[in-house]
Structure 1
Amino acid sequence: MSLIHEQAAFLKDIRKLLDFADAKNYVVTAGELGRSAETQSMYLRSHRSETMDDMHLRQCAIDLYFFLDESDHLQLVTSVDRLEEIGKAWEDLDPRNRWGGHREGAATETPRFERDLGPGR
């Protein structure tokens, strides 16, 4: 499948995830989708990333932020436990979908949702 088709399939899954989150009463905002090689290189040098083959470079990763409305006040939800059903729903959509909340150790990133396309194309 071409990269464009992979990106389109990724975004269709994101749309499904957003519908799922909406049904659970989450307010969702988005952060980074695409990323330049220069930014990735800076992240690598500053140890914010471990590779130059990040899915953000191929526009197959996005950072999503989940909020719950608590007494007219939006509360950002970052706990792996509280977002587990969101992460599981994402990973159930496609076997290549990965949620950052399931990363081991210090690299846990609950906002990160990606499709693993394998090594760089």
Structure 2
Amino acid sequence: MLEEDKLENQFTMFCWHWKRPMDTPVRNLLFVKEIDTPNRFGGIGYMGFEKLTFVPIQTKMVDLSLLSTAEIDWLNDYHHQTWEKVSPLVSGSVRQWLWNNTRPVGKPN
């Protein structure tokens, strides 16, 4: 069995901890699956992740000036997906909180 065969259909967690002890880590559950790529070098399949949980990343905890344009785009896309998937399931103050925490961000001047 190839090593990549062991990964497909597994679950994993992306976890990002800040250095301060009271900070809440970012945790997202991911499902490992084969993905379609424009190139399959040597006929080898490639694994990717399907996001299973959607919780806004607290951008006030991120120094946006350190992120590349691609990283900011990823963050904004993730927040857009979070809004699209979660907003139909919540209402009232929870929906407003979700709205406030999934707005696009930009690189500071």
Report the structure, 1 or 2, having the larger helix content. 1
Higher relative contact order (CA 8 A, sep 6+): 1
Query: If the TM-score is normalised by the length of the shorter chain, which range does it land in?
Result: under 0.3
Q: TM-score, normalised by structure 2?
A: 0.26
TM-score normalised over the length of structure 1: 0.24
